[in-house]
Amino acid sequence: MSTAKTSGGRFFEDFRLGEEIRHALPRTVTGGDAALYTALTGSRFALPGSDLFARSLGLERAPLDDLLVFHIVFGRTVPDISLNAIANLGYAQGRFGAFVYPGDTLGAVSRVIGLKESSNRQTGVVYVHTTGSNQRGEMVADYVRWVLVRKRDAAASTPAAALPTLAKAVTPDALLLPGGLDLGGYDDAAAGSPHRWEDYAAGERIDHVDGMTIEESCHMTATRLYQNNARVHFNRHAEQSGRFGRRIVYGGHIISIARALSANGLANACRIAAINGGRHSNPSFAGDTLYAWSEVLEKAELPGRRDVGALRLRLVATKDRPAADFPDRDAAGETDPAVVLDLDYWALMPRRR
């Protein structure tokens, strides 16, 4: 049987520093994608959920959820970047640009900005900068991620380590506000919360209270929705002999569930403007129940805008442990074993008039 026309994906030694990869399979998004995303996450944010609400803020209709856009862009990159990944290790310097509406077509391009072989010579870390754009060439999502990728041949030579310099956070003046967005007419009652930008303080912690159990069918469907075909999420037969003996839940699904849970306490954090950094502290599996808590790290006014401010938030998700006592790091800096996600991001929130 010939496999000459099939692809097994890239291994670590196949990447070259500075190369640019134009990813296949542009994706036209639809209202069906938005509905299925809501069904899979239970997200309760008003802006992506209501045409009427979105129009009251100056938009043509309800845009797609920011994380749905992120996942669809991410999914374009998997066959070229992380098909043979063991784990997605982190994110940095992420920004969201133009709103995405049903009917838009999204594509992605990545550039390899860092490579480092692991000491065991079995794997290596690949750093990529990915830009997702719509059919007009407008940036919709732009981010750096780094991935632990298998080597095809442990003895294969690889280039000297080259690591990128990454900013700790996106600065408030670099946040992008899509044209037409005006939160002056924001309806608190429709959004489900009276709490605006002025009501939050740096250092405040919020227990989002609710929990959601990950079902095998849900995380599999979510990953297929994004056309993310990384084997660790799909191939039960292969993963029986893997590190954990079972399929790992796509980390993006964890982010989406945690963000959905955060609506209870942060319902008016209506748009993700940037992802400063994040890591999947521990793997998640079907059957885990996720909880979440947030910390306000910073507040920022936006130049020339009185209708909207930015909150820098830390979102922490835990598995099988409620977050009332805010599970975190111990005195030695070790992460609580229940923590599965630690995400630092900027969100836009309406201000009082």
- Token pair belonging to 292: 């979440």
Evaluate whether residue 164 is within a structural domain.
Answer: no
pLDDT at position 159 is 86
Identify the three-state secondary structure at position 135.
Answer: coil
Distance separating alpha carbons of residues 36 and 239, to the nearest angstrom: 27
Q: Is residue 331 part of a domain?
A: yes
The verdict on residue 245 lying in a domain is yes
pTM of the predicted model as reported, rounded to 2 decimal places: 0.95
From first to last of its 353 residues, the chain has per-residue pLDDT tens of: 556 789 889 999 999 999 999 999 999 999 999 999 999 999 999 999 999 999 999 999 999 999 999 999 999 999 999 998 888 889 999 999 999 999 999 999 999 999 999 999 999 999 999 999 999 999 999 999 999 999 999 999 888 899 999 999 999 999 999 989 999 999 999 999 999 999 999 999 999 999 999 999 999 999 999 999 888 888 889 888 888 899 999 999 999 999 999 999 999 999 999 999 999 999 999 999 999 999 999 999 999 999 999 999 999 999 999 999 999 998 898 999 999 999 999 999 999 97
Could you tell me if residue 90 is inside a domain?
A: yes
Helix (H, G, I), strand (E, B) or coil at 294: strand
Give the range of the structural domain holding residue 17, as residue numbers without chain letter. 12-151+182-350
**Six token digits for residue 92:** 């940095």
Confidence (pLDDT) at 243: 84
Q: Are 261 and 212 in contact (CB under 8 A)?
A: yes
Compute the distance between CA of residue 319 and CA of residue 211 in angstroms, rounded to an integer: 9
**pLDDT number for residue 235:** 85
Which segments within the chain are labelled E, that is strand? 20-22, 27-28, 85-96, 105-117, 123-133, 139-150, 205-207, 212-213, 271-279, 289-301, 308-319, 339-350
CATH number for 136:
3.10.129.10
Which amino acid type is present at position 192?
G
Query: How confident is the model at residue 13, as a pLDDT?
Result: 95
Tell me the one-letter amino acid at 149. V
What is the pLDDT at residue 41?
97
User: Tokens 């849970």 identify what position?
Assistant: 261
Tell me, yes or no, whether 168 lies in a domain.
no
Nearest to 269 by CA among 350, 189, 205: 350
Spatial distance between the Cα atoms of 247 and 245, rounded to a whole number of angstroms: 7
Residue 344 lies in a domain: yes
Task: Identify whether 2 is part of a domain.
Answer: no
CA distance 251 to 273: 19
Number of domains in the chain: 1
Residue 176 in any domain: the answer is no
**pLDDT recorded at residue 86:** 86
